[in-house]
Amino acid sequence: MMEDKTLVCRECGAEFAFTASEQQFYADKGFQNEPGRCPACRAARRQNNGGSRGERQMYEVICDGCGQPTQVPFQPRGDRPVYCRNCFDSQRQSRF
């Protein structure tokens, strides 16, 4: 049976409990390492990182539907039409 452990946060140096239930969760998920940061530092790190990847690169294009300039989150290849949000939604609605 697992017992609670006291760990030291590598970010702020505070001691924090690594509970038996957390240890079981880590084991069930196959995690090999114990947490290196306290819950507060983990939460702050997630918030600062946005919880995901960085800002998306946007590409300036002319909409093939209405001819207006717009931005899309992918680099057009030139072999398919590219639409602004309104034209894209209209195209999608007309298919269904």
Reading the block at residue 88, the tokens are: 């894209």
Q: DSSP letter string over 34-91?
A: --SS-HHHHHHHHHHHTTS--PPP-EEEE-TTT--EEEESS---SSS----HHHHHHH
Residue with tokens 């680099």: 75
Task: Please give the pLDDT value at position 85.
Answer: 92
Task: Please give the pLDDT value at position 51.
Answer: 52
Task: Please give the pLDDT value at position 92.
Answer: 85
All residue ranges of the chain with pLDDT < 70 are 50-54, 96
Residues in the chain, total: 96
Q: Using alpha carbons only, how large is the chain's radius of gyration in Å?
A: 24
pTM: 0.49
